[in-house]
Protein backbone atom coordinates (compact mmCIF):
# COMPACT_ATOMS: atom_id res chain seq x y z
CA UNK A 1 0.00 0.00 0.00
CA UNK A 2 1.42 3.37 -1.05
CA UNK A 3 1.77 6.11 1.51
CA UNK A 4 0.88 9.72 0.93
CA UNK A 5 1.46 13.21 2.32
CA UNK A 6 -1.53 15.55 2.59
CA UNK A 7 -1.04 19.29 3.14
CA UNK A 8 -4.20 20.39 4.93
CA UNK A 9 -5.25 24.02 5.49
CA UNK A 10 -6.63 24.88 8.92
CA UNK A 11 -8.76 27.86 10.00
CA UNK A 12 -6.97 31.21 10.34
CA UNK A 13 -9.31 32.17 13.17
CA UNK A 14 -12.89 30.95 13.07
CA UNK A 15 -12.92 27.18 13.68
CA UNK A 16 -15.80 26.83 11.22
CA UNK A 17 -13.53 27.71 8.30
CA UNK A 18 -12.39 24.19 7.49
CA UNK A 19 -13.70 21.97 4.71
CA UNK A 20 -15.56 18.71 5.29
CA UNK A 21 -12.90 16.97 3.24
CA UNK A 22 -10.08 18.31 5.44
CA UNK A 23 -11.78 16.93 8.55
CA UNK A 24 -12.28 13.56 6.85
CA UNK A 25 -8.63 13.37 5.81
CA UNK A 26 -7.41 14.36 9.29
CA UNK A 27 -9.47 11.49 10.70
CA UNK A 28 -8.22 8.97 8.14
CA UNK A 29 -4.44 9.53 8.04
CA UNK A 30 -2.07 7.53 10.22
CA UNK A 31 -0.32 10.57 11.71
CA UNK A 32 -0.95 14.31 11.85
CA UNK A 33 2.15 16.52 11.69
CA UNK A 34 1.46 19.79 13.53
CA UNK A 35 3.44 23.02 13.86
CA UNK A 36 2.29 23.37 17.48
CA UNK A 37 0.63 20.28 18.92
CA UNK A 38 -0.90 22.20 21.84
CA UNK A 39 -2.52 24.72 19.52
CA UNK A 40 -3.70 22.09 17.04
CA UNK A 41 -5.15 19.94 19.84
CA UNK A 42 -7.96 22.50 20.23
CA UNK A 43 -8.96 22.11 16.58
CA UNK A 44 -8.79 18.32 16.69
CA UNK A 45 -10.84 18.20 19.88
CA UNK A 46 -13.46 20.51 18.36
CA UNK A 47 -13.96 18.08 15.45
CA UNK A 48 -13.55 14.90 17.50
CA UNK A 49 -10.37 13.88 15.68
CA UNK A 50 -8.32 11.30 17.59
CA UNK A 51 -5.51 10.72 15.08
CA UNK A 52 -2.02 10.60 16.68
CA UNK A 53 -0.14 13.88 16.37
CA UNK A 54 3.59 14.60 16.11
CA UNK A 55 5.41 17.96 16.11
CA UNK A 56 6.78 19.21 12.78
CA UNK A 57 7.97 22.81 12.78
CA UNK A 58 10.75 25.16 11.66
CA UNK A 59 13.06 24.02 14.48
CA UNK A 60 12.96 20.29 13.72
CA UNK A 61 11.89 19.88 10.07
CA UNK A 62 15.51 19.59 8.87
CA UNK A 63 16.07 16.57 11.14
CA UNK A 64 12.67 14.85 10.88
CA UNK A 65 12.01 15.12 7.14
CA UNK A 66 14.07 12.07 6.10
CA UNK A 67 12.39 9.86 8.70
CA UNK A 68 8.91 10.93 7.57
CA UNK A 69 9.79 10.39 3.91
CA UNK A 70 10.96 6.85 4.71
CA UNK A 71 7.73 6.10 6.57
CA UNK A 72 5.63 7.38 3.67
CA UNK A 73 7.64 5.19 1.31
CA UNK A 74 6.76 2.23 3.54
CA UNK A 75 3.03 2.97 3.26
CA UNK A 76 2.17 5.44 6.04
CA UNK A 77 -0.11 8.40 5.41
CA UNK A 78 0.60 11.79 6.98
CA UNK A 79 -1.49 14.95 7.22
CA UNK A 80 0.54 18.14 7.66
CA UNK A 81 -1.09 21.14 9.33
CA UNK A 82 0.20 24.45 10.67
CA UNK A 83 -1.14 26.75 13.36
CA UNK A 84 -3.34 28.56 10.83
CA UNK A 85 -3.77 28.61 7.08
CA UNK A 86 -2.14 26.54 4.36
CA UNK A 87 1.12 24.68 5.05
CA UNK A 88 4.05 25.70 2.87
CA UNK A 89 3.10 29.38 2.60
CA UNK A 90 5.32 31.24 5.10
CA UNK A 91 4.91 28.15 7.30
CA UNK A 92 6.62 24.75 7.66
CA UNK A 93 5.87 22.26 4.91
CA UNK A 94 7.95 23.21 1.89
CA UNK A 95 10.97 21.06 2.79
CA UNK A 96 8.88 17.95 3.40
CA UNK A 97 6.79 18.48 0.28
CA UNK A 98 9.90 18.90 -1.88
CA UNK A 99 11.53 15.80 -0.38
CA UNK A 100 8.42 13.73 -1.13
CA UNK A 101 8.30 14.96 -4.73
CA UNK A 102 12.01 14.25 -5.19
CA UNK A 103 11.41 10.71 -3.93
CA UNK A 104 8.41 10.30 -6.25
CA UNK A 105 5.97 9.85 -3.37
CA UNK A 106 2.29 10.78 -3.58
CA UNK A 107 1.43 14.25 -2.30
CA UNK A 108 -1.83 16.14 -2.24
CA UNK A 109 -2.54 19.74 -1.27
CA UNK A 110 -6.11 20.36 -0.13
CA UNK A 111 -7.73 23.73 -0.84
CA UNK A 112 -8.80 25.87 2.07
CA UNK A 113 -8.13 28.83 4.31
CA UNK A 114 -5.26 31.25 3.76
CA UNK A 115 -4.94 34.77 5.14
CA UNK A 116 -3.67 36.74 2.17
CA UNK A 117 -6.63 36.15 -0.16
CA UNK A 118 -9.33 37.87 1.93
CA UNK A 119 -6.86 40.61 2.92
CA UNK A 120 -5.98 41.28 -0.73
CA UNK A 121 -9.63 41.49 -1.72
CA UNK A 122 -10.51 43.70 1.26
CA UNK A 123 -7.71 46.12 0.38
CA UNK A 124 -9.56 47.14 -2.82
CA UNK A 125 -6.15 47.62 -4.41
CA UNK A 126 -5.59 46.17 -7.92
CA UNK A 127 -5.40 42.37 -7.67
CA UNK A 128 -5.38 41.18 -11.29
CA UNK A 129 -1.63 40.91 -10.68
CA UNK A 130 0.06 40.92 -7.28
CA UNK A 131 3.28 39.91 -5.56
CA UNK A 132 3.15 37.76 -2.43
CA UNK A 133 6.16 38.79 -0.33
CA UNK A 134 5.30 37.12 2.98
CA UNK A 135 7.60 38.02 5.88
CA UNK A 136 10.46 40.41 5.17
CA UNK A 137 13.93 39.28 6.32
CA UNK A 138 14.51 40.41 9.90
CA UNK A 139 18.11 41.57 9.33
CA UNK A 140 20.23 40.08 6.57
CA UNK A 141 18.94 41.01 3.13
CA UNK A 142 16.18 43.29 4.43
CA UNK A 143 17.51 46.53 2.91
CA UNK A 144 18.30 44.84 -0.39
CA UNK A 145 14.78 43.46 -0.66
CA UNK A 146 13.17 46.76 0.31
CA UNK A 147 15.13 48.61 -2.38
CA UNK A 148 14.03 46.07 -4.96
CA UNK A 149 10.39 46.11 -3.84
CA UNK A 150 10.32 49.93 -3.98
CA UNK A 151 10.39 49.61 -7.79
CA UNK A 152 7.69 46.91 -7.94
CA UNK A 153 4.58 48.10 -9.81
CA UNK A 154 2.28 45.26 -8.71
CA UNK A 155 0.27 45.25 -5.49
CA UNK A 156 2.37 43.64 -2.74
CA UNK A 157 1.22 41.40 0.10
CA UNK A 158 3.20 41.15 3.35
CA UNK A 159 2.74 39.06 6.48
CA UNK A 160 3.74 40.62 9.79
CA UNK A 161 3.47 40.04 13.52
CA UNK A 162 1.97 42.69 15.84
CA UNK A 163 5.25 43.47 17.61
CA UNK A 164 7.08 44.10 14.32
CA UNK A 165 4.43 45.93 12.30
CA UNK A 166 5.63 49.36 13.46
CA UNK A 167 9.20 48.76 12.28
CA UNK A 168 8.02 47.32 8.98
CA UNK A 169 5.76 50.30 8.27
CA UNK A 170 8.58 52.68 9.21
CA UNK A 171 10.90 50.92 6.75
CA UNK A 172 8.27 50.93 4.01
CA UNK A 173 7.69 54.67 4.47
CA UNK A 174 11.45 55.20 4.19
CA UNK A 175 11.90 53.13 1.03
CA UNK A 176 8.50 53.50 -0.67
CA UNK A 177 7.45 56.96 0.48
CA UNK A 178 4.60 57.69 2.84
CA UNK A 179 1.87 58.41 0.29
CA UNK A 180 1.52 54.85 -1.06
CA UNK A 181 -1.97 53.43 -0.51
CA UNK A 182 -2.03 50.48 1.86
CA UNK A 183 -4.37 48.20 3.75
CA UNK A 184 -3.76 46.46 7.06
CA UNK A 185 -5.99 43.49 7.92
CA UNK A 186 -5.80 41.84 11.33
CA UNK A 187 -7.71 39.21 13.29
CA UNK A 188 -9.23 37.93 10.04
CA UNK A 189 -12.35 35.76 10.54
CA UNK A 190 -12.33 36.50 14.29
CA UNK A 191 -14.66 38.60 16.43
CA UNK A 192 -12.51 41.74 16.25
CA UNK A 193 -11.58 41.50 12.56
CA UNK A 194 -10.49 44.86 11.22
CA UNK A 195 -9.18 46.28 7.96
CA UNK A 196 -7.56 49.73 7.93
CA UNK A 197 -7.19 51.46 4.54
CA UNK A 198 -4.86 54.46 4.62
CA UNK A 199 -1.52 55.65 3.28
CA UNK A 200 1.64 54.02 4.63
CA UNK A 201 2.48 57.08 6.74
CA UNK A 202 -1.05 57.19 8.18
CA UNK A 203 -0.91 53.49 9.06
CA UNK A 204 2.43 54.09 10.78
CA UNK A 205 0.86 56.79 12.96
CA UNK A 206 -2.06 54.51 13.81
CA UNK A 207 0.31 51.78 15.01
CA UNK A 208 2.00 54.35 17.27
CA UNK A 209 -1.34 55.40 18.77
CA UNK A 210 -2.95 51.95 19.07
CA UNK A 211 -1.70 48.66 20.45
CA UNK A 212 -2.81 46.55 17.50
CA UNK A 213 -2.96 42.82 18.17
CA UNK A 214 -3.31 39.70 16.07
CA UNK A 215 -1.46 38.36 13.04
CA UNK A 216 -1.50 40.90 10.24
CA UNK A 217 -1.60 41.07 6.46
CA UNK A 218 -0.32 44.30 4.95
CA UNK A 219 -1.24 45.04 1.34
CA UNK A 220 0.66 47.86 -0.36
CA UNK A 221 0.09 49.66 -3.64
CA UNK A 222 2.73 49.15 -6.32
CA UNK A 223 4.84 51.96 -7.69
CA UNK A 224 2.97 54.23 -10.07
CA UNK A 225 4.51 56.28 -12.86
Residues 121 and 105 in one domain: no
Task: Give residue-wise pLDDT tens across range 89-99.
Answer: 877 889 999 99
Q: Name the average pLDDT for the chain.
A: 95
CB 157 within 8 A of CB 132: yes
**Residue 25: CATH number of its domain:** 3.40.1010.10
The predicted structure's pLDDT at residue 1: 52
Q: Could you tell me the end-to-end alpha-carbon distance of the chain, in angstroms, rounded to an integer?
A: 58
Residues 105 and 122 in one domain: no
Within a domain: 16:
yes
Residues 134 and 201 in one domain: yes
Within a domain: 225:
no
Reported confidence tier of residue 208, pLDDT bands at 50, 70, 90: very high
Chosen domain end from 109, 130, 158? 109
Residues 88 and 135 in one domain: no
Task: Give residue-wise pLDDT tens across range 27-66.
Answer: 999 999 999 999 999 999 999 999 999 999 888 888 999 9
Residues 159 and 94 in one domain: no
Find all residues with CB under 8 Å of 191, minimum gap 6, and list them: none
Chosen domain end from 74, 109, 144? 109
* Counted domains in the chain: 2
Within a domain: 170:
yes
Within a domain: 81:
yes
Chosen domain end from 109, 129, 163? 109
Residues 94 and 187 in one domain: no
Residues 58 and 150 in one domain: no
The rounded percent of the chain whose pLDDT value lies above 70 is: 100
Within a domain: 212:
yes
Beta strands in the chain (DSSP E): 4-7, 31-34, 53-55, 77-81, 106-109, 130-134, 155-160, 181-186, 194-199, 216-220
Residues 214 and 124 in one domain: yes
Residues 91 and 128 in one domain: no
Residues 151 and 125 in one domain: yes
Residues 161 and 127 in one domain: yes
Within a domain: 49:
yes
**Residue 9 burial by Cβ neighbours in a 10 Å radius (0-12, 13-18, 19+):** buried
Domain interval for residue 201: 116-220
Amino acid sequence: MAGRLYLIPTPIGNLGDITYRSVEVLKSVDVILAEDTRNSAKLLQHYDISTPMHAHHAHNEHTTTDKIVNEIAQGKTFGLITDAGTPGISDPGFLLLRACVENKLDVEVLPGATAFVPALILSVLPNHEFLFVGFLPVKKGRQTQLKKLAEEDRTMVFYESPHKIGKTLKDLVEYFGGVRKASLSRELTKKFEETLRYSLSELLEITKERNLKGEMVLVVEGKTV
